[in-house]
Structure 1
Amino acid sequence: MAQIFKWLSRLFGAMAVLAALAAALVWVLLGGSLPDYDRDFTVEGVEAPVTLLRDIHAVPHIRGASEADVFFGLGFAHAQDRLWQMETSRRAAEGRLSELFGDVTLPVDRFMRALDLHGLARRALPAQTPEARAALEAYATGVNAFIRAVSQEALGRGAPEFYFFADRIAPWTPADSLAIAKLMALRLSDQAAVEVRRAAISLRLPPERLRDLLPDYPEAAVIEPRQAGLPDAAPRGVDFAGLLGAPTGDAPAAVPTSGPTPGAALPALSPGASGAAPQAAGLAGLRFPAPLGPPTGPQAMPPAGKGGASNGWALGPSRAAAGAPILANDPHLWLSAPSLWYLARLELPSGGIIGATVPGMPLVLVGRNSDFAWGLTSAYVDDADIYIEKLDPEDPSRYLTPDGPAPFAERREIIGLPDGAEAEVLLRWTRHGPVIPPDQLGVGDVTPEGHVAALAWTALGEGDTSFSAGFALMKSRSIDEGAAAMADHVAPAMNVMLADRDDVGMIVAGRAPLRNPASPGRGRLPAPGWIAANDWQGFRDPETLPRILRPESGAVANANNRTEARDYPRHLSFHWGDPYRIRRLEKQLAARDYHSRDSAAALQNDDVSEMARAVLPLIASDLWWTGPVAPEDPIAARRQQALEMLGDWNGEMSEHAPEPLIFAEWMRRLTPRLIEDELGPDARRFDGPQPVFVERVFRNLDGAGVWCDIDKTSAQETCAQIAQLALDDALGALSERYGSAPRGWRWGEAHEARHDHEVLGRFGLLGLIANIRHETSGGDFTLRRSQSQGGRNEPHAARFGAGLRMVVDFADPDSSRVVISTGQSGHPFSRHYDDLNEVWRRGDTIRMSLDFQDAEAGALGLTRLSPPG
């Protein structure tokens, strides 16, 4: 026995030594790329020394003799901290991910090659202002200076990921930055996906039921201050940039009496259609792929309902406790490690700018200077359409247009794969835009045989000046200058919150297509591309887009709600964000006469769900009063206990409470119970809660209560019965996973924030280091938004959220606050990889100061970039 223990001890000792050696090897290899923030470099491309002072949170404060030198420094800092993130973003925009990751990303690369984002970016360079072009060139030079330093000074390949994948990196170019800006726009737009989903569902439902499941934005959510029970003088009201009163510009064009209503089915793709406006019709005679189902495989654009979101508001002096404007903004995007955002301070000759950047772009997207602050929310402008193009039966290399057949603009490209393999792709472009692969956006499900789908999108136009508009915005000094700067913004359409030292405002910026009043689809459905009436008629004048400067109410706010009440075709969109966050925001802003920097930060972390408060009484009312249950019925007893708990709940989505978990799972189970018998496999297009639909059903608006009856049975099911069945489903699933005692369940156990590293996070032990995960409060419809992606596995995990929070207070600008969701570094072995995550998680922030003495206190180091000699 002693001999056995002796050999076991040796075996375990050897294993420990091997593990230590492996850990040491990993550290030597990966740790070599850890940035040194207190090291000087001799670099080419600067006129005079540039200094990068890293404050206690590793935020670089960059000073140089010229504007070009400062942007050189930003490029160097971005590359030093986030080179891998920049490289994968650039490759995604170029359609070159498969060179690293193989076949799994081929569908995305094909789609990105079809869009030609990088080609559009190259051609857009001459359209930028001279100042913007100079910044792009200086930034690219700074990135390349760091890449050269990695090679010359053995800095561990610049990022640990390069040890596993590419060991070479191409020089950075100004077009790469513009391409990443277009990639951002792509990831924020779900209008095309919404259009395809509506088309697929219209093939299964009559118009009145389609209006239930995909309703117009609820009128009750379009709130004007006087509608909210506030005094007419509105000292506490809010303008929801709203401008929901009389529209500016031309009166809305009349809507034609012919053609389908907004909820009608897909227009007929009649083989004999001419340039005249088609009449509404079904799809008889057309052959569609079968079975119709949700899109599968990697998707380059977000699915329907998962586009960008945000909260933003600004309070003028009359609403601020300290008598100076306050601006708050928290963009909601995908969570990742490292975060999409990177904090930086630029000391330009014209003054300091501080805020949030995106690595790869020389631009402060959300931030402030000494006199002006700005924030962004998604405007949900309908800036994209799917066109169904009919192939010429005589020559499939041509497609039909109102003027007869026309050739596709074609090109062939090679997509590289690992180990030297290649994939050839044929890319085609129509007069409306690129032909979309059928596996993207689900267009294959709604494209008849002999047709292809093309994407018209404002970001695919030539000469996009969005970067120059953003560059001018961050250098503006007043709300008037900021509003004027964004006149040249193209895509994505944004609501821009503005504040200076005197007042506040908000504008909608971006190209808004004008559609033909005779177009039967009204931009809500894929349109026959050979019908002239379906073509865009140009774009709205930027001066006619919603804007309000110096509001009488003293406040503006937006949570992706509708910003204009015009009718089609001069409307902005039929598809908007949820109505519940703006209700909560309006209620809380109106709850007090004056707000402070602290109350604004608290509101960003508000986790009360107005959706739960609106929907729970509807689905539970008939179940709360069913009386006592038989003791021998454990399912009924569990149901009654859950209902009692929900009856005492105030809608707060706290990570420590069980009620949010019960309600969220109930809502997740309820929609399939209502729609699966009608939609079959297409029910999966609605993964996750659909509260506006549920409200319509349980209020029986326009007969929507019919959804509660299962049409495949002879019985007449009631909504109360369906609600009970869904609740029992939910409680059964939760009991299996979290135990049989509901009072011991916790929302946070299921609602885990997933800041995952897209590459290293998939490598077992490395994933434990690279992925940042923690429980979190909030939900899909709270101001503290932490949105799930749905799915069968981990359906409540939070994968979207406010990766950036900012509050600017002009009463004391250098006490303004900001935080990002992870840390500044993209290196998992750096202590600044996740140091800000704990600050973000507890709802706290760090100072956002333009005072260099604040940055020097506890600074990590000073990097000096000096020209040769």
Structure 2
Amino acid sequence: MSIPSETILVEGLPGEAEILIDRWGIPHITASDETTAFFTQGFNAARDRLWQIDLWRKRGLGLMAEDFGPAYAERDRAARLLMYRGDMAAEWAAYTPEAKGWTEAFVAGVNAYVALTEREPERLPPEFGIMGSKPARWLPEDVLRCRAHARVRNLDAEITRHNIAVKYGMEADRFHKGFQPDWTVMVPEGMDPHPIPAEVLRMQNIGAEPNAINLGTPTLPADLADEGSNHWALAPHRTTTGRPILASDPHRVHEQPSLRYAVHITAPGLNVIGSGEPAVPGITFGHNDDIAFAMTIHPADQEDLYIYELSEDLTRYRYGGGWEAIRTEREPLKVRGEPDREIELSFTRHGPILHVNPETRRAYGLRSVWWEAGTAAYIGALGYLKAKDIKGYLAALDSWGAPSSNHVVAEVAGNIAYAVGTKVPLRPNWDGLMPVPGDGRYEWAGFTTTRDMPRHYNPASGWVGSANQYNLPADFDAAFRRTGFEWTDGARYARLSQVLNGETKFSVASTLALQTDVTSVQAKSLVDVLRAIPGTPSPARALLMGWDHRLSTDSAGGALYEAWFTKHLVPTVMRTLPPEGLAAMVAVPDTQHVTNLVLKADPAFGPEPEKARDALMLSTLEAAFAEVTKLLGPDTTAWAWGTLHQGFAEHPLSKYVSPELAAQLNVGPLPKSGAGSTLNNNGYRPSDFRVTSGVTWRMVVDVGNWDASITVNTPGQSGDPRSPHYRDLFPVWAKDEAVPLLYSRAAIEEAAEARIVLKRG
């Protein structure tokens, strides 16, 4: 069958290349050699996502003000503080030997497409015309120097814990977060008890903000508490196919276009398909001819806040037995509509200074694995693209730095495995849970790396997987390694293990059904408490007691439960149990911890904790019932979770253009199932229940029968509003469905809708 074909003359194209685009917008690249393959990946990423990847680079390097004006000058300064500034030779050497050449080729491909838009301006995405800006050319090191697009942790928790201890005493921190395993905070000696200014965390947040467009005052990013990811691999005896099945659905704060981009890269010796970030070469989640692979975040503690005593002239900080000079760098900053500025960036031996209080002569600095060679996000994935088996995959993980992550892998031979890829500081005399003095008493002593972390190979259960939950085995020396004590709510993993520990054998279709499962074990545990409360149930209580704990779009009980839990129960518990005012210091409560306080009827409820707990649950439930009645009307049979909980892909420029243009840029809304406590994780903002985080891309791989694999990427593969693939997958995603992830040449040819042939210009 003949399909539309376009030939493009490309400057600097190393060899021959072709891009077949299937009917779902997935590009399948065929190149004469690996260098040409990665060149074409960069060219194609710019073809589909130029506005997005150009913004990614400018945000990461602190170059926003040149395009968007003085409102972005502070954000640029913050971003430059968070960049990698170390030795680039050491940085390149930390990855697979091919990483440098592949990245150079990828960047050359991006630049070739930018050059093409200069010759043919009609190829520029409309956002450049809206803003009156132009795409910039890249350097290979730009990809590695941009660190903050994949967050590490736990600066926010350190600051909150310190401020709680200063105001209320260390014992009050038990209302802030729960620790796994059980742990008593090691309060650092020598810490001056003072409130840490809000400016410290604000500077890191605006430098790492994922959705960087805001034409007024920069805003803080959506909190990461609702983020999470699921993945698992099933052994052949656990599937209906007799082959392994691997499932992957990474969750992040939603962006428009989607954070993920699916692509297929083929050259002699290389054949890999899956998803990654469009501004980064290679693929992070996917498969090659021999193995399938995926990752989720393993929430290790990879950063620390240091507090310094400054000299009277504020140019030195106390270190060891004397004073050490603050290193200062001055850099030009281009600002649209204004003369160039000069900004000052200050650093200690540990890293950037986020804030200085001249009155108290204190400075606040960040130390992060970001400043260590080999921690550019996802570049470590380049090492396993050509792995032939699990052994080769795990060998590639040895150099993994960031983000700290759980990995699952399945091979055609039938084996499955789990491993952690990470680089976590060894803290010999503290636990990383609070800020420490920067005077030399608290120094890192090497790292816990991938080889030190747990691994599982072909377990008897027939599956491996994770959902960001606490997963360190009992024999892991957490007291020595102290890799992290603060974990994501375990509700998703509880549901995953509940299903996978059964006797069911899974197909690709039933694996997708589990990925999109909307049963909340958190809800069941709380409704069971409601059921046990004496007395005649009110209509609100009766509705939840008769509910199946499923957050489907048509669920009346789901609408009431989520309004109750998020907007009434959790906030009221946090206002009632801790000392007055503490709740205001906790930006986003630890939902698992709050749920446990309720389930256990914590003594802080009062002298009769169960009675007080029950009364609080009933009163907050009635308040939620009244709120949902106002939102959805008095007829509870007409209530539906999907009426409140809607997916909506909002373009960052849509607030600043005409309604007609905004309608072209935005996608949705459509009803969406699930929530943060379900495997189908679709977190939302409490103000209006709009979905803001969770799944945008997912994949189920039939290992060895590759063409039977499926995927989805919402709202579409393309970031260009003029493309038919800008919004075509949004309804598929909203209905929890998927499309084929084709791999064989015959299947791709059959599904192809367009062909692009690249020739040397």
Aligned: 1:546 with 2:454: yes
- Counterpart selection for 1:696 from 592, 596, 609: 596
Deviation track 1:568-626 (CA, whole Å, cap 9, x = no partner) reads 2313210111111111000111222422222211100000111111123335643xx33
Match in the other structure for 1:455: 366
Contact 2:94 2:399 in 1 (8 A): no
CA distance in structure 2 between the aligned counterparts of 1:620 and 1:448, rounded to whole angstroms:
56
Shift of 1:100: 2.9
Match in the other structure for 1:729: 623
Match in the other structure for 2:156: 193
Distance change in 2, residues 1:863/1:541 (3 Å):
closer
Alignment of 1:406-485 (within 5 A): 406-437=324-355, 449-462=360-373, 464=375, 469-485=380-396
CA distance in structure 2 between the aligned counterparts of 1:470 and 1:560, rounded to whole angstroms:
19
Aligned: 1:509 with 2:421: yes
Deviation track 1:317-356 (CA, whole Å, cap 9, x = no partner) reads 2222222111111000122221111111111211411111
Shift of 1:752: 1.3
SS in 2 for 1:805: strand
Distance change in 2, residues 1:784/1:458 (3 Å):
same
Equivalent residue pairs, number: 740
- Counterpart selection for 1:859 from 732, 742, 752: 752
- Counterpart selection for 2:230 from 308, 311, 317: 311
CA distance in structure 1 between the aligned counterparts of 2:401 and 2:205, rounded to whole angstroms:
30
Aligned: 1:203 with 2:166: yes
Shift of 1:169: 2.5
Deviation track 1:500-558 (CA, whole Å, cap 9, x = no partner) reads 01210011011021111x32xx10011111152x2111102432211112223321110
Match in the other structure for 2:241: 322
- Counterpart selection for 1:675 from 558, 574, 579: 574
Distance change in 2, residues 1:717/1:701 (3 Å):
closer
Shift of 1:403: 3.6
Contact 2:78 2:203 in 1 (8 A): no
Which segment is superposed worse, 854-863 or 641-650?
854-863
- Counterpart selection for 1:93 from 54, 60, 68: 60
CA distance in structure 1 between the aligned counterparts of 2:517 and 2:187, rounded to whole angstroms:
40
Shift of 1:201: 2.6
- Counterpart selection for 1:352 from 267, 271, 284: 271
Contact 1:355 1:368 in 2 (8 A): yes
Match in the other structure for 2:560: 662
Alignment of 1:602-751 (within 5 A): 602-618=513-529, 621-622=532-533, 625-627=534-536, 640-667=538-565, 668-676=567-575, 678=578, 682-686=582-586, 690-700=590-600, 703-706=603-606, 718-751=612-645
Unaligned runs of 5+ in 1: 1-35, 220-260, 271-282, 439-443, 629-639, 710-715
CA distance in structure 1 between the aligned counterparts of 2:594 and 2:457, rounded to whole angstroms:
37
CA distance in structure 2 between the aligned counterparts of 1:865 and 1:514, rounded to whole angstroms:
49
Match in the other structure for 2:216: none
- Counterpart selection for 2:208 from 300, 318, 328: 300
- What is the TM-score normalised by the length of structure 2? 0.91
CA distance in structure 2 between the aligned counterparts of 1:747 and 1:333, rounded to whole angstroms:
22
CA distance in structure 2 between the aligned counterparts of 1:648 and 1:423, rounded to whole angstroms:
64
Shift of 1:863: 0.9
CA distance in structure 1 between the aligned counterparts of 2:66 and 2:45, rounded to whole angstroms:
23
- Counterpart selection for 2:740 from 847, 852, 861: 847
Distance change in 2, residues 1:389/1:37 (3 Å):
farther
Contact 1:107 1:297 in 2 (8 A): no
CA distance in structure 1 between the aligned counterparts of 2:396 and 2:81, rounded to whole angstroms:
31
Match in the other structure for 2:310: 391
Shift of 1:365: 1.1
Distance change in 2, residues 1:305/1:836 (3 Å):
closer
Shift of 1:843: 1.7
Distance change in 2, residues 1:266/1:536 (3 Å):
closer
Shift of 1:465: 6.9
Distance change in 2, residues 1:200/1:299 (3 Å):
farther
Match in the other structure for 2:110: 143
- What is the TM-score normalised by the length of structure 1? 0.80
- Counterpart selection for 1:402 from 304, 313, 320: 320
Contact 1:308 1:378 in 2 (8 A): no
Match in the other structure for 1:788: 684
Shift of 1:689: 6.4
Distance change in 2, residues 1:704/1:287 (3 Å):
closer
Q: Calculate the aligned-residue CA RMSD, in Å.
A: 2.9
CA distance in structure 2 between the aligned counterparts of 1:200 and 1:671, rounded to whole angstroms:
21
Q: Percent of aligned positions with the same letter in both sequences?
A: 28
Unaligned runs of 5+ in 2: 210-220
Contact 2:166 2:195 in 1 (8 A): no
SS in 2 for 1:269: coil
CA distance in structure 2 between the aligned counterparts of 1:700 and 1:134, rounded to whole angstroms:
56
SS in 2 for 1:435: strand
CA distance in structure 2 between the aligned counterparts of 1:851 and 1:483, rounded to whole angstroms:
26
- Counterpart selection for 1:171 from 112, 121, 137: 137
Say which one has the larger Rg.
Answer: 1
Distance change in 2, residues 1:526/1:465 (3 Å):
closer
Contact 2:95 2:383 in 1 (8 A): no
Shift of 1:686: 4.2
Instruction: Give 1:509's aligned amino acid.
Output: G
SS in 2 for 1:569: helix
CA distance in structure 2 between the aligned counterparts of 1:290 and 1:542, rounded to whole angstroms:
34
Match in the other structure for 2:213: none
Contact 1:615 1:691 in 2 (8 A): no
Match in the other structure for 2:696: 803
- Counterpart selection for 2:100 from 133, 139, 142: 133
Instruction: Give 1:784's aligned amino acid.
Output: N
CA distance in structure 2 between the aligned counterparts of 1:861 and 1:820, rounded to whole angstroms:
19
Shift of 1:725: 2.9
- Counterpart selection for 1:331 from 247, 250, 273: 250
Shift of 1:98: 2.5
Aligned: 1:376 with 2:321: no
SS in 2 for 1:57: coil
SS in 2 for 1:512: strand
